[in-house]
């Protein structure tokens, strides 16, 4: 049995992966489409198997989830096993504000929308804990004379100094080498997951399409798309090598050498972003975003659009 089945829609895939990763860091086992439904498997049967064999189902709640026709059967299967909530088989985690209807409002939710990562992680772990939510320290005595005393600033020099300091804007610091390295590695993971998911969905959308996704190493993978059995899109994406460890390279075709048709490197500036070295702004996708300052998600979409570009010229 799996501890948790993560039920989500494509719009909340990043939230679902973050939740699954946190749960596995805590020693739980999870089943999640992005990691466990491999190309060639039957999506519907995988969903049915995952929902049946999981002890509990995490619902990644958002407006998109509530509007999804595919999501309802996933949590309904868990609800039918525990309609009174005694075993807490359904764990709703609200990541974006929404208004659940029907049976869902009766199930206590874990709300992490609007929180920073540390608070969201703490709320998630506390919420899935089956124990009582008793605080570790004694709550403040409600009748304390100091409980409702309004704090007054000391009118002397200390307060004046505090006011002078408060007008200074917060100083910004540039990302460290460690920050940049982690950003690039996390970006590569997002690109790899995007290709894996998109290839699986492409083969389901059109019976003429077959796909292949091969992880060569932890820092390299190959993707290929066939139409009517003929290879139409083929690429190798790898981390580092050509331009040092902080680069992600996209190489078209079956080349195995250190050559690339596009390279992503960290953009200059105080904010972490990806810059495409060879982008010329010719494609429709490149006109919609700034390819010199891309988020990891935009970088994944940029590589995917380069990968499937041959399909537009068949």
pLDDT on residue 42:
75
Q: Are 127 and 94 in contact (CB under 8 A)?
A: no
The pLDDT value recorded for residue 280 is 72
For 273, list phi and psi in degrees, rounded to 5: -160, 165
- pLDDT recorded at residue 303: 94
Q: Phi and psi for 68 in degrees, rounded to 5? A: -80, 130
Burial 212-250 (b: 16+ CB within 10 A, else e): ebeeeeebbbbbbbbeeeeeebbbbbbbbeeeeebbbbb
pLDDT of residue 225: 95
Q: What is the CA radius of gyration of the chain?
A: 24
Q: Which two tokens stand for residue 191?
A: 């690109």
Q: What's the pLDDT at 233?
A: 94
CA-closest candidate to residue 233, choices 260, 213, 259, 218? 213
Q: What sections of 13-167 are H helices per DSSP?
A: 13-25, 33-36, 43-53, 63-67, 71-81, 117-128, 157-166
Nearest to 205 by CA among 61, 69, 43: 43
pLDDT averaged over 10-residue windows placed end to end, the chain, 314 residues? 89 93 91 85 78 87 86 71 71 89 78 89 86 66 56 47 54 80 92 92 90 91 94 92 85 78 89 88 78 92 92 74
Which DSSP symbol is given to 100? -
Cβ(195)–Cβ(235) below 8 Å:
no
pLDDT at position 99, please? 86
Query: Which tokens belong to 159?
Result: 């307060």
**Per-residue pLDDT at 265:** 93
Q: Are 248 and 188 in contact (CB under 8 A)?
A: yes
pLDDT digits (tens, 9 = 90+) for 53-87: 888 889 999 999 888 877 777 777 667 676 666 67
Query: In which residue are the tokens 């124990």 written?
Result: 131
pLDDT at residue 163, as a whole number: 46
In the prediction, which pLDDT does 162 show? 44
pLDDT value at residue 159: 47
């Amino acid at each position: 049995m799996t501890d948790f089945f993560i039920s989500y829609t494509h719009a909340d895939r990043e939230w679902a992966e973050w939740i699954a990763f946190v749960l596995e860091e805590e020693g739980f086992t999870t089943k999640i489409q992005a990691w466990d439904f491999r190309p060639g498997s039957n999506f519907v049967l995988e969903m049915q198997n995952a929902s049946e064999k999981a002890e509990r189902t995490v619902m990644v709640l958002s407006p998109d989830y509530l509007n999804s026709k595919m999501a309802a059967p996933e949590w309904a299967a868990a609800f039918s096993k525990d309609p009174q909530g005694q075993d807490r088989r359904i764990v709703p985690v609200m990541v974006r504000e929404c208004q659940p209807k029907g049976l869902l409002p009766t199930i206590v939710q874990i709300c992490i929308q609007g929180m920073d990562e540390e608070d969201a992680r703490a709320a998630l772990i506390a919420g899935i804990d089956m124990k009582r939510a008793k605080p570790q320290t004694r709550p403040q005595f409600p009748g304390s004379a100091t409980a409702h005393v309004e704090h007054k600033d000391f009118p002397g020099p200390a307060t004046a100094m505090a006011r002078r300091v408060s007008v200074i804007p917060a100083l910004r610091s540039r990302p460290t080498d460690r920050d940049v390295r982690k950003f690039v590695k996390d970006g590569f993971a997002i690109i790899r997951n995007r290709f894996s998911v998109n290839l699986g969905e492409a083969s389901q959308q059109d019976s003429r399409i077959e796909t292949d996704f091969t992880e060569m190493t932890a820092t390299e993978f190959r993707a290929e798309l066939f139409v009517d059995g003929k290879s139409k899109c083929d690429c190798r994406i790898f981390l580092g090598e050509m331009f040092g460890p902080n680069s992600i390279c996209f190489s078209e075709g079956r080349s195995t050498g250190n050559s690339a048709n596009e390279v992503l490197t960290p953009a200059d500036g105080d904010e972490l972003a990806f810059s495409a070295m060879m982008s010329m702004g010719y494609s429709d996708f490149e006109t919609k975003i700034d390819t010199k300052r891309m988020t990891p998600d935009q970088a994944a979409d940029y590589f995917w659009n380069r990968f499937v570009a041959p399909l537009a010229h068949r």
